[in-house]
Structure 1
Amino acid sequence: MTRRTVRIAMNGVTGRMGHRQHLVRSILALREQGGLDLGDGEILWPEPVLVGRREPALRALAERHGLTEWSTDLDAVLADDSVDIYFDAQVTSARAEAITKAIRAGKHIYTEKPTAGDLAGALALARLATEHGVKHGVVQDKLFLPGLLKLKRLIDGGFFGEILSVRGEFGYWVFEGDWQDAQRPSWNYRAQDGGGIVVDMFPHWEYVLHELFGRVTSVTAQVATHVPRRWDEQGKPYEATADDAAYGIFQLEGGAIAQINSSWTVRVNRDELVEFQVDGTHGSAVAGLRNCRVQHRSATPKPVWNPDIPATEPFRDQWQEVPDNAEFDNGFKAQWELFLRHVVLDEPYHWDLLAGARGVQLAELGLRSAAEGRRLDVPEVGL
């Protein structure tokens, strides 16, 4: 076996998502399994170069994982010709400038979303990457979750017949930070720092809907800041200026309608933190992060509305679990593997910066819909 090294500048890995999902459960997990098997006796070995603003945090992270390369000087890292890929998991407000530098330095780009603060900025990145001939990808991790992979299997197998509607519920209670620590960084609740649940989640809903059910053609949204006062990491109170809940209706190409609630101010009464119910003429399914349950038309009960007596049917027991039928890897790692194969073997890959721009567009139009109180069309985007 021959080993081929790919060096990856990883910016923002001292944060929760960048550290846990991208560094530990993706890149380091690939190293623990001996690298990525490219076939024909060749192994791809990812070599992370940690990048960030806080030297003590970077040093501690590198020491914890037995890594030796880290830097607070992004420009110097990008000037290093041995670095092949630039990955970005920074706060949204810092992302576009760093990606622009990396593209101009000739690095392939892999990034979290949203890719920029607005559609114009996101499209500018996609155009710049195309002009410079670098490969580029955007994290669209939910497509690789076991529950949604099972859902796609049902769609591809024609289980639903004509799909009529999609209903999504996402969220959990994020503590305010006064008497219990918040589970999310305080910048998430400051619009001036790129926070807000629409900016965070609508890009996810765009690619989930687009890939599984059809392109979003219009959006109607209502947003709210239900908890206006929170406490930051130093225990200091601050005013929340970003939305912490969003209620969206999305018209899909082909006629189906999707409704998705996103909230950091909801207490969970679901089996999983996100669930999608899909209803079709031939059957329905409820998919979460890992599980998926179905009810076919031939096995659909015939409930009758009668508010005068207690419910006598065990509705949840009337659904059938979809079997795994495969081993599912971590979704972030699975997409990293596809992107790395795209970079080194030129294998097909379409979750690129243009796809990321569609997510930014939907978030932008969702916020505008809420501000103007009306439905807005979602035009197709292109370079």
Structure 2
Amino acid sequence: MDRQIGDRASEGTVIGSRPVNKTVKVAQDLAAAFERIKSVKGVYQQEITRGESPDIYIYGSVEAVGLPLGNKQAMEIVDTALEGSYNMHDADAEDFSKEPACVFNAGSFDINNTRWEGYVQELAELAAEGLGLETCELKAELDAMWLWTEGCIWPTPPLRVRKHGDRRTWAAKMLVILPSSHKGGEVTYIRDVNGNHDTWSTDGYRQSMVSWHKDINLVFKPPEKGNRLGLLYDLHVRRPLKYSQQLGLHHSAVQAVQDAIEKYTLLVRNDCMQETAFFLPLNIKIPKHTSERQDQSSIGKHMLLPSDLAKLECFYEKGMDEVRGFQTHIALAEVTARDKMTIYRAWGTRQVDHFDTEYLLQKVMDIPGGDILGETLRRLEGTKLEAELVPVVDAFKSGLTRTVTHQGDTEEHVFLKTALCLLIHLEKTD
């Protein structure tokens, strides 16, 4: 297999002396189909590694809420809730096993950190991508602060848009769990009437974010030990879709990918084009450590953005790892686009020569759980790729690095951009 890939990746789309334009069309169809693939999850959790402190002041309390939240201040917050009208429960104290869980509406506390709003917007963008929401006019609006104390009774509040919020644009909820040491307190999503469910843990992170569609009901269990504090936000977009609607669009997008692949296999079987490999740029930036370490031969799936991970996973949703006698192999590849422009100056005139963009295969990395295709293709690193094998050129048009050299009256400008690509090779097996 590796010999076939090597020949086709270097020779391009020529059979004998006849160029085959069908490769370009197939690559474009494949790229367009993959562009429709989005991450569609009912619930999305993201660890937060760069924390920003919100500096919370609860009205009626003197001190700011200290983070990580200690048990002493957690009890003081509960007392403040019981004394005021902030607590979600109207029942008697005897209804609680220990201390009550508290919900503070957005008007009962203040956030004094001016950077917090921008930080929350960054988290909202991560949440939107993880849930598969469109990000046009994305806005996060503070709804409440939730506090779980150890062993409390916690009937998860029914989902609603915040007071005075716009129901027409409301799409999801996002809970930013602030540093508060606790054990247990899982988050559960019951998928169907048979009780099938997914569970997420919040105690394994110093800080994390959980987001979910407005038509998804989550059950938050109280922590078995310690306290959990979080800020709840409404996520608004221009055209919100229910989770069930997004699933329908996702299934349609996966079908489009399958149709594009089957069209490719048909053309190869009919000798209309050669078996080849395609490189589809992903959204993620190349992790720094993989570029700097020469011995790095794989990249973890956890490093990929949700939309990129969805593109990998779609191959296995409908058995596209094997399509009509073709086996699908996927890997990750660093591809560099190189643009060269030469400027000549003579007798008061200026002449510019611009050369076509070159694409260089810099590095191939395996995906954990894959078929070690990267090791097979390692020998091709540094070779030139034909332009038609890289159908999404827009990924190489921003974030360029430019170098300029002067020699006499000549200037040479070289523009470089490296992107992480999904390498797809469909091998004919019969």
TM range (shorter): under 0.3
Structure with the bigger percentage of strand: 2
The higher radius of gyration belongs to 2
**TM-score, structure 2 as length reference:** 0.22
Structure with the bigger percentage of helix: 1
**TM-score, structure 1 as length reference:** 0.24
